[in-house]
Structures are given as structure tokens and as C-alpha cells.
Structure 1
């Protein structure tokens, strides 16, 4: 049987070099890619009765042209064409924009089918497509698939190419799901599902075909993760660290605070993983301020005591410098050397640092993505910690991992993901969660106010400063933008400096040099600056316990999780802290964000609402965040199927016959093609 993944799209009749290149830009290179390029919705051309139509709905109706068309011209080359149409007992106005050529075709008495937006109040339809009754190749009575297209590829052209691929290769489509799972969920065969998803007779048939392909897509994703996981658990090619439990207990006892129960549980899980001879791959998630950094420090301490080096990779230089300082304070009594590698080091200092690292004189290296440059070599890398993992691409994390022989990996995020979704999306990772906040933390009081209350907000800043406290003021832009009517940091800094002559107001943004940023943050940390105007460069990890007020200009411009991160910069000391969101949201999404921020301080609830508002693609960061981009499945809408697929895949992989029986050969071939069986590390 021919493997359609191996058949070039050029072998589909009618597709030449030019068309193949255009399809390549959509990721379509093989016959299989073309057949599995599924529509994301359908346009329904079944004729409806106007009595059923809802205001603003797109529908198809049939009627008779009643009057001569009227043309109105306006602007440069723009035209509005209208005529009266009788459809059953309705007498409506049909309107076409910028199609003057149709004037000659619209003759009274002709039967016509119109598809467009229905405006019941005005008894009018704005027509998107129309055709006369009796036309060959009519769309009337069909569901037309709508695909994601770009460049020179058109809907009509793509439909023709897919139809040709189905005619040529449709019979060669191979089943991949085991019979038992198809029977369990009453799924149609793959061959039929691929044909019907492109060309369903009605909505219900299209939904059945989609249901089959959604399950298959999620199941194949899970079988890949579960098979990798099963193989990795049995491969003793990691480092079995000799963890000195007594030394770790002494380190924890010497901390200036007590660990929460949640932190103790997570530390125990990590230490257990470090002792095992396979690679740890653990996601540590916790709300803002839940104490992930100290868990990472304990893990790094255990690895260094066991004779290996550690690496901590963070997204910004400010955060790298802060982590270096806090780790140095913790490790100083133990003689552990902490190095810092960022892009702003001088060439001489960089060379000295890299030489020390390679000789093993540096125990822990903290840095930005500079850590993964080619000339960075460790003597014995045992643990890689990445902070705010959704900001790093998959490739960046795997390059760092490959700098050690097979180091353990701890991935941290303060963007909490609903636990079941995390386990399912990051199926190849163990997930640890910090739910508690350290004792004594007071919940931050959050207010959403309109910009016309700015004077009162400025009075609030003044009161906090007079009480000896400090404030952050966050703006979405650095400089004035012609396109966006939003506050920018440079202007706000000037305004606040003028408004508060007795206060010192600092400015921080991403275009400043590392030395300038460091100087500003040091001054703010020492309370030499009472107000810090900043862009979101301070979003993660910056820790100034005396800062009690966070003001965010144009807050509706930020995502929910980002707002929650910003709010987490305050509330780190003994005093009550506040967050004020200045916004005049115009959209429902903007209003919902403000509501969510005022109603809850719980990062997991914020994450759930953010996921609903934004969808997983945005929520997890870029396309290379490690969360899959599914073709037909939707991680939110199809979440229950995702969980079923995970359970089915885990159960199947655990069976010995999965690895030997002829019934599961298509799945093993899939795993081979995806390189899961080659021992390549999944990321």
C-alpha cells in the first residue's frame, strides 16, 4: 500500500510547480497534507424561509426579481446596486456593493437565489453571492467548505485540488485507529471521514466526520507523548544524583522563612526524580508569589551537592540579575559559586566566565537565552531550570538540555494552567503545582476605574508615598504612537515628574541598556525612587517588598494573565497592597478582563478565564511554545475528547501487545515516522 505521506503534491493531477510552491506556503507538501487540510467551517447554501431568519444572520433564500435594478455610484469606483425581490410573502430590497456589471443581468421576472446578511428591520439583504435558478454547478442546497487560504491560493482552487486528490488517492487512505476504539466511540472509518469532512451532505454529516478526525488527531498526539514517556521511564540514560538528604534539610532549616506544605510536597517530588536514573521532565506551576524560586534553589543546591552544575534560564536581563543576587544570598554560606551570563557582558568578562564554567569553577549559571549560544560549555550539567517557560521556544529549551549529557529539566511558570489541561497538553511532563501562598500574605485589593478618575488615582499614589511606600505605574508603550491612542511611558514619566515635585519618579523600559535598567531597579529597591513608570519589562519576577501600589494605564490593552503578573509585583511585604486598572474598555473582552481582575486574586481562576477569552494558542505564547497547533481539534471545545484520548493512549501503550501485535502496526509506523521510536528527546 502506498504511503500518502511519501506522495508529492505534484503527483496530484493539475498541480504543477507553481501551484505546488503556493501550497507549500500553507504547509501542504504531500498528497496526505492536501487530503488532511480540513475546512474550519462551512457556508450553508440550503434555501431557508425568511420567517425563520434571525437579525444579522447569513442565510440563503430564493425569490423572483420584481423591479428594475437601481445603480448609485459614490467615491472612486464604488457602486451600490439594488432591486426589489419577492420571496414567498416577503417583499425585500436586495443590495449588491461594487458589482455594477450585474445591472444588465438582473431582469424582472427571473428566479434568483441570494445568499447574504439579513436585516429584518429594514427588510433588506446585503448580498454576498447570488445565482440564477437552473445554473450549472449550482451551490444551492450544498454546504461549501471554507478553508484557511493565503497568497495566490483561492477557496475555489483549493476545493478543486482537494476534490482531485480525493478522486486519485481517496481509496488509498489507510485506517490508523484500532477497531476497538472506533467501536467504543462509534467513529466512522477514516476513508469516509476524510471524504465527508470536505464534502458533507448536511451539517450533521459534517459534524460526524469532524468528530472522528478530532478524536484521531488528539489520540495520535497523546499516543506520541505516552509512548515517549513509557520509553523514557525505562531508559536509564539520565543522571542518578546522590542527593544528600541531611544537607538539603539543613539548607531548608537555614532559610529565613518556613516552606508551605505545598512547597514541601513539590520539593519531595523533585528530589525523588533527581535520585532516579532517567531524565526528570517536570513542569512546576504556581501562582504569582507562591515561592517557585526557592523550590528551584533547593533543587539546584541538591544537584550541586551531588557534584553537578545547574543552569537557570530566564526571559529578561533584569530577572537574571535579580535571580543571581537572590541565589548568591542563599548560597553564600555554602561556598556555591553563581555566575551570570547575559548579552551585555563585555567580551573579556564573557571569556573569563565561560572558562570558569568549563573548568567547573562556577556551580550555577544564571542567564537569558545567551546560555544557549554555541560557545557555552558546562563541565557537568546536571539540572536545567527554565523560568517562565512559555516565553522560550521549544528549540531553545532543547538546545540547553543538550549541553549536558542528559540533564534533568525543571520548567517553571507563573502562568498557571488548569491542572488537567497541563497534564494533557504537556503529556510528556510530570506536573507539580504550588497552590498556597506564603503565610502572612494579604490579598491585593483591585479596582477598575475609568481614565476620568485619574486625579483620584494620583492622590492615591501621593498618600502611599507619604506613608513611606512606593508605586509602579505601567504603560503599554515606550513612545507616542500615531496608530494607537494609548498612554506611553515617556509622556507619563514627564507628567508625573511635574505632578509630584517632592517625589522621585523613575523610568524603565526595554530600550534602556542593562546598566541603566540595573541602576533604576537598584534605586527603586533602595526606596531612592518613590514612583517607577515602566513598560511591561517588570512583568515577571521583580521583587520590591515596599512597593504597595500598582497602577496600569490602558489596562484593557493587556491580556488577563499579563495583568495578573503585573499585579503580582506588589503584595510582597507586610503592608496592604492595591492594584488600580485605568481603562475605558470598548469591547466585551476588555470589560470581562476588568471584571475578572476585580473579582479574583486566584491565578488559576484567572488562567481559566483567560483561556476562555483568548484560546490556548495565545494563552501559551507563541506557536513554538510546545502546545500543539491542532488542525481540526480545539483544545477548549474538545477538552473532554482530549482527556479521553489521553486515557486511551496511556492504557494502550501500557499493554505488551501494543508493541508486537499486527493490529497496532499502523500506530507503530506513525510513531516511527514521528521519530518517537528513534530515542530522540521530545520537546
Structure 2
């Protein structure tokens, strides 16, 4: 019978004693299995290099002979700079050590030495990070050494020795998880070999082959969990098969003041199909800024209410909640559908009235912020939960709202277009619908990136737009002055623009204002009483003012690409040509790449792809609560092809009857059992 390495305490590895088990626990390591799973994030290459073949700035290892007397300069009692002439092949170089003058007695003339450090081609200097004397103790010359993420109490050298010991002691017990058909299909090495080589690669090629094997396994196991959950969920009749009044839904759509796009019709058809099934809908609706997700959500809520159930729409901010409440009330009023608002700024009496009406079923649709998930909120019969801008809510918040009803259907919306790879990873347990076109008549927003020294021209541009009856947003990264950051802040910019435009009304909006003040500022702008609105990013999501045609972003290099695209999406919502001006530091390299992407394209999915490349998946959603898995080895930007293969393979496996019975797949079924997939655990 296989030994469970995750049940063996880490202190069983020779050399792990004293406080070391507790220090490893801080890294999430308590068992031998978890220790072996703690992979290096890179390797130090100690292969000897030929100085004629290296480039300036390279980190290199060379072997040579000491030919000079070491010279030491002291800076105080501790800091020092020591230099010594070394002959490497036929070249005299200067080796430089900082704060290691204690090595001076070992630097004897004619002694052989191996040095690792950063090469300065022009001065023939090597800034030494490590030095060895051949023949004295163990040598790492000519090897690849793993580099682990460690704390100060766990030195890198100790971690390497400990991993080596763990592999020696327990490597032969590492079980195979993947069936041979997958190993053969992708030419993957056995698991024992892969884990061993990740910790002790003989060459970079071996390390890459080992990584390929373990990345596939990691992505396949994750996708297996997702696909198994979906398969089980779709087979389980624990949702509500709504008896929809489809003619009434069609009449509602025909009565809208605009025609739905082909894409909107397709997505609505997918949602209506799901609502009629006996399993719970779990669908992600993603679409670019202004693609018309809200009207699709409105038609879905209408269908559920007409079937005798209640709907809930949860949004991240009060401004957005109030806007949705107004727009839904307008759409639903002719049909006698009651819409209510539930936010933190209601008075106690207003709140009690809403809660009582909800519980009695007198409210059909409630729109709210996280106030919706408080304990005292009860529904009479909740049928559909819609969450807007889902990445703003943590996993637990979404789950709590879902539990307010008896397995209600769930529609999750996002205006952050997500690259396909990321969508199938973060939302592998969901069906993904995409609004791929914008409503007809939308003009592309003209985008310009300029340096801050062109500010006078930008102010002139704002003046021209406002003089022609339009409105402008001006976005700043901070509310007030920061000593640490040299960036524009909303309060100063508001004062500057009031001075620049004495004949116009300049408003201010930021997160520290009271809810009533924010609402007044936003209402004044949407009613065209305020001509220029200076704001922080609180207006990033969903706010709709068709007359606003100009978006100016100060210090745009400080914003992520998707955030800039969201901000740009606040304009271009009416009939007039709209513009986005990005004031950015031209010397900021990453910022320069972002500005290039913004001026190249208006396509949110292309923007999202570039954002993923620039930032990596960990930061893509702007929150660690997004439900995005934290992979040990896999990198979603680099390993997207493997992710798609793993997903297709996992989906095929769970569809096969023999997967659930054959002995060869028992390790995979045991994994699903451990992950609680069969216990109705939602992978939200």
C-alpha cells in the first residue's frame, strides 16, 4: 500500500530539529509531502563561463588564480570594499567584495579561486557574490543550484541541504498520480523523477522537462476538480426549473428603447435556457465596457420575477447601486415590478421597511451593496442572484448571498474582459458567456498619451469640449497630498481647475466623502449642472453619463491597463465623438508599454491580454480574494497552452464512465474525494 507522505511530520527528515519545524510551518510546510512540493522558483547557474563569451551585466562563474595582494578600504567599523587582481585564462580582472574583508587571509598569491558575481565588461570588474577555493570542502562549481523562497531564519544553504536529504530519504516513495495514457500522450517523465529533478537538476534542460511534467499535473488536477464539480452539478436536480413566460420576456425585449445586438440575444438565450433546467445556473457574463450587460441582466431578472421568484443584484459601490436601481425601476415600472435599494446609508427605519417587504415578497428585485449579505436579510423566494463586477467581491461574500435562497441561479457579470485562458482557470466551474460586440452607433474613443509638460494644451482641450456643451472627467490617483509619492491628487487638481475655469462648475468626488456627498456630486454631474468632475477611481465602474465626452487621467502610468480601459469606458456612451487623454511619465518603462497598448486598441480583450503579460495573473483582478488559484509552478501567462490541454483532458476524463470505476484512475478519484468535490462544495 502507498505511503501517504502528507501524513509524515516534516521533523522525520534528518536534520530538521529544534525550532526548524515551526519555521517551516510559517512557509506552510508541516509534512514531508508539503516539503517535497515546495519547489524552487529559479536556479543559480554555477557553470564555468568563458569571459570572451559573456555580456556586460551577466551573472557569471569563473575560475582563476590570485595574482595580486588584496586591498581593503574600510567605511566605519563594519562596511568595507576589498579588491584583488585575478588571472582568468589570459585576462587580468579585478574582483570586488563588499563587507567581506574577513576573507583577506584566504586570498593567498597563486591560489586557485572560483568566483560568482556580476560582470562589468568595460572595467573588467567582477562584483563577487560568492567565492570558493577548489579542494576545500564541498563545491557547487559547475552545478545548477535551486533557489527557494525562504525567510531569514531558514538560510538558502540549509534549505538546499534539507531538500536534498528529503529527496534521499523519501524520493522513492513519491506516488504516481497521472495515468500512463497522459504520460505517453505528452511524453512526460514519471513523477518521482520530476520531483527529484526539480530540486536537483543536472542541467537546465532536465529542470525544464521536470517543470513541464509538474506544471501539466498541477493544471490537470485543478481542472479535474472543476470539471468533476460541473459534471456532478449538472447531473444534480437540486435547483429550480423555472416555468418561464417566454412570450412575456420577448415582449419586454421588444419594448426596450433600443434593439439588442446579436451577441446580447445569444447570451440572453443561454441564460433563459439555464433558468429552465433543474440544476443551478452558474454563469459568468463578461463583456467589454458598454457592451450592454445590464440590460441582459434586467431581462433575466424580469423572467425570474414573472416566474414567481425574487431577484437580487449586488454591486460594489453605492453610486452604482443607486444607478442600477434607477435604470431597473424605469424598465420595470410598466410591468408593476417593485424594485428596492438596500445599502449601508439607509436610515434604520428605511432599512427595516425594506427587510420586512423582502421577507413578505412585496419586493421583486433588490439592488444593493454588500449590505445584501448581512445576517438579517431574508428573502421570501430568491430565484436569481446577479453580482456585478464580481472581482470586487471576495469568494465568501458571493457564497453568502447565494445561500440566502434555496440554491438560486447565479449570474456573475464583469466588465473586465478576461483572456480565455484566465476565464477557464478562475471560472472553470462556470459556463462563460461573452458579449463580443458593442451596440450599433458607438464611435471608437480617440486616445492620446502625452507627458505632463503638455498640461496647458490638455486644459485648452477640456475648455473646448465644455464650451461645446459636453462634460469631462479628470481622474487622479490620490485624494490628497502624499509626501512619499510625487503624483497629482484630486483636491489640488480640483483647486487648480476651479481657478482655470471660473465660468464653469468643477465638481469633486472621492472615496472619503460621505455617501450623501458622493451622491450629490454624481447627480450634479449626470444632470449636467457640473461641467468638469475631478475624481479618484471611484467612478471607474458602471457610471453612465452619455454627455461626458472627455476622460483625462493624471499620472496614468500609475494605473493598471484594465483599470485605464475601465476609466476610458466612462466616455463614448452617447452620440458625440469622445476622447481619452493619458498624462504619463515618458521615462516609466512599464507605463510606456501601457500607454502604447491604450493608444493601439479600444478592444478590451486585447487590452486584457496585454495586461496579463505585463502584470502576471496574480495581480490581474486587483484582489487576492478573486478565487484565482495560487499555483506552485504554473504561470497562466506562459502556460496557457498547457492549461487548455489540461482542461480538455479533464473534461474528457469525467465524461468517461470508466473514469468513475476503473482501478487505474483511483488516485484521481481519491484526490477528488480529498478536495470535497463530492460533498457539494462550491468551487466559487
Could you say what secondary structure the match of 1:183 adopts? helix
Contact 2:49 2:62 in 1 (8 A): yes
Contact 1:10–1:17, Cα closer than 8 Å, also in 2? no
2:81–2:97 CA contact under 8 A, matched in 1:
yes
Residue in 2 aligned with 1:303?
304
Q: Structure 1: how far apart are the matches of 2:91 and 2:240?
A: 77
CA shift digits 1:123-150 (9 cap, x unpaired)? 1111111111112121112111011123
Aligned to 2:613: 612
Query: Structure 2 CA distance, aligned partners of 1:263 and 1:173?
Result: 51
- 3-state SS in 2 of match to 1:423: helix
**Structure 1 residues 11 and 381, CA, compared in 2 at 3 Å: closer, same or farther?**
farther
Aligned ranges for residues 531-550 of structure 1 at < 5 Å? Answer: 531-550=532-551
C-alpha contact (below 8 Å) 2:421/2:643 kept by paired residues: no
Shift in alpha-carbon separation, 1:92–1:17, aligned structure 2, 3 A: closer
Counterpart in the other structure of 1:375: 376
Which residue of structure 1 aligns with residue 457 of structure 2? Answer: 456
Do the aligned partners of 1:284 and 1:412 also contact (CA within 8 Å) in 2? yes
Q: Secondary structure at the match of 2:122?
A: helix
- Contact 2:421-2:640 at 8 Å conserved across structures: no
Q: 1:624 to 1:500 in 2, by over 3 A?
A: same
Q: Please tell me whether residue 38 in structure 1 is matched to residue 65 in structure 2.
A: no
Deviations 1:316-349 (A, max 9, x none): 1111111111111111111111122222222332
Compare 532-541 and 673-682 and name the one that shifted more. Answer: 673-682
Q: Displacement of 1:76 after TM fit?
A: 7.3
| Gap change, CA 1:230 and 1:142, over 3 Å in 2 | same
In the TM superposition, residue 460 of structure 1 has moved relative to its aligned partner by 0.9
Indicate whether 1:316 and 2:321 are aligned: no
Q: Does structure 1 conserve the Cα–Cα contact (< 8 Å) formed by 2:425 and 2:628? A: no
**1:243-270: per-residue Cα shift (whole Å, max 9, x none)?**
1101101111111111011100000000
- 1:573 is displaced (CA, Å) by 0.9
Pick which of 69-78 and 332-341 moved more: 69-78
Match of 1:417 in 2: 418
Q: Partner of 1:329 in structure 2?
A: 330
- What is the distance in 2 between the residues matched to 1:375 and 1:151? 47
d(CA) in 1 for partners of 2:532, 2:77: 53
Greater mean alpha carbon deviation, residues 525-534 or residues 3-12: 3-12
Give the distance between the partners of 2:664 and 2:103, measured in 1 at CA.
59
- CA gap of 1:371–1:30, structure 2 versus 1, over 3 A, is farther
1:207: which partner in 2? 208
Instruction: Name the counterpart of 1:225.
Output: 226
Distance 2:195 2:129 in 1: 29
Aligned equivalent of 1:680: 681
SS at match of 1:227: helix
SS in 2 for 1:5: helix
Please identify, of 224-233 and 425-434, the stretch whose mean Cα deviation from structure 2 is larger: 425-434
Change (3 A) 1:11 1:358: farther
Q: Displacement of 1:186 after TM fit? A: 1.5
**Aligned equivalent of 2:184:** 183
> 1 CA distance for matches of 2:64 and 2:572?
66
Deviation at 1:418, TM superposition (A): 2.2
TM-score, normalization by structure 1: 0.98
CA distance in 1 between counterparts of 2:24 and 2:374 reads 35
Say whether the 8 Å CA contact 2:243–2:307 is kept in structure 1.
Answer: yes
The 5 A counterparts of 1:391-410 are: 391-410=392-411
Q: State the partner residue of 1:67.
A: 68
Question: 1:195 deviation in Å?
Answer: 1.1
CA-to-aligned-CA distance 1:55-81 (integer Å, 9 cap, x gap): 111110000111111112336742111
Shift in Å, 1:41: 0.6
Deviations 1:203-235 (A, max 9, x none): 111111111111110110111111111111100
Match of 2:436 in 1: 435
State how far apart, in whole Å, the 1-side matches of 2:618 and 2:203 are. Answer: 30
- C-alpha separation between the residues in 2 aligned to 1:514 and 1:542? 15
CA distance in structure 1 between the aligned counterparts of 2:293 and 2:30, rounded to whole angstroms = 44
What SS does the corresponding residue of 1:121 show, helix, strand or coil?
A: coil
Q: How many residues were matched structurally?
A: 683
Hey, what does 2:385 align to over in structure 1?
Answer: 384
Alpha-carbon separation, structure 2, partners of 1:426 and 1:650: 14
Q: How does 1:265-276 map to 2 (within 5 A)?
A: 265-276=266-277
Counterpart-to-counterpart distance in 1, 2:164 and 2:337:
66
Q: Which residue of 1 aligns with 2:92?
A: 91
- Could you list the runs of 5+ residues in structure 2 that have no partner in the other structure? none
The reply to whether residue 479 of structure 1 matches residue 480 of structure 2 is yes
| Aligned residue number for residue 173 of structure 1 | 174
Deviates more, 1:246-255 or 1:582-591: 582-591
Alignment partner, residue 446 of structure 1: 447
Q: CA RMSD in A?
A: 1.4
8 Å Cα contact 1:424/1:643 also seen in 2: no
- Once the two structures are TM-superposed, the CA of residue 484 in structure 1 deviates from its matched residue by 0.5
Q: Does 1:154 align with 2:152?
A: no
Distance in 2 of aligned mates of 1:621 and 1:413: 13
Measured in 1, the distance between the counterparts of 2:155 and 2:118 equals 22
- 2:632 is aligned to 631
Distance across 2 between alignment mates of 1:168 and 1:571: 64
Separation (CA, whole Å) in 2 of partners of 1:5 and 1:382: 42
Partner of 1:241, secondary structure, is coil
- Where do 1:521-532 residues align within 5 Å? 521-532=522-533
The equivalent of 1:511 in structure 2 is: 512
**2:421 touches 2:636 (CA, 8 Å); kept in 1?**
no
User: How far off its partner does 1:157 sit?
Assistant: 2.5
Distance 1:470 1:84 in 2: 68
| Aligned residues of 2:557 and 2:584 also touching (Cα < 8 A) | yes
Q: Tell me the secondary structure at the aligned position of residue 35 of structure 2.
A: helix
Structure 2 vs 1, CA of residues 15 and 352 (structure 1 numbering), >3 Å: closer, same or farther?
Answer: farther
Corresponding position of 2:592? 591
- Structure-1 separation of matches of 2:587 and 2:618: 24
2:490 equivalent to 1:489: yes
Distance 1:150 1:255 in 2: 60
Q: Which moved more, 1:98-107 or 1:61-70?
A: 98-107
**TM-score normalised to structure 2 length:** 0.98
The 3 A distance-change label for structure 1 pair 663 and 360 is same
> Conserved in 2, the CA contact under 8 Å of 1:623 and 1:629?
no
Deviation larger for 255-264 or 165-174? 165-174
